[in-house]
Amino acid sequence: MVKKEELAKKGKGFISEFKAFILRGNVMDMAIGVIIGGAFQGIVSALTEDFINPLINGLGGAEVGGTIKIYGGQVIKYGDFITAVINFVIMAFVLFLLLKFVNKVMTVGKKAKEEEKAEITKSDEVVLLEEIRDLLKKSK
């Protein structure tokens, strides 16, 4: 039979492990990203429904919010689907640009460090010459 102390110890270990997972920077960053993404989705939806769809309706003469009636009084809302596709493309494009920007910013710092390391790193010839010099000094 398992003792209560052992169960309490296992429970505390699990809870502390869960706390460590939740408080890790990546999880918090992801949570903030999801919240901002949800808010940004509202902006993209408003842009699509209030700006892009009326432009398509005005230019093409077709209503983006259209439906097709099928049997039994059911309808297929193809306009809503087109709107969702437009929203997806806009969101994907903005996320692509954002990731490109973040990757560019991240590589700026790395390039400077790599250049410093390249300056510090000696070529094989220089290392060999320094060893020869040190050996000559020892032999005198």
In whole angstroms, what is the distance from residue 94 CA to residue 33 CA?
13
Collapsed DSSP state (helix, strand, coil) of residue 58: helix
Asked if CATH classification 1.10.1200 holds for the domain at 4-139, the reply, yes or no, is: yes
Please state the φ and ψ torsions of residue 76, each to the nearest 5 degrees.
-105, 120
Per-residue pLDDT tens for 78-127? 777 887 888 888 888 888 888 888 778 878 777 767 766 666 777 788 88
Per-residue pLDDT tens for 44-89? 888 888 887 777 777 666 566 677 788 888 888 777 788 788 888 8
Q: Which tokens belong to 58?
A: 């005005």
DSSP string, 91-109: HHHHHHHHHHHHHHHHHHH
Per domain, the residue ranges of the chain are 4-139
Contact 56, 64 (CB under 8 A): yes
What is the CA 27 to chain-centroid distance, rounded?
Answer: 12
What is the CA 88 to chain-centroid distance, rounded?
Answer: 16
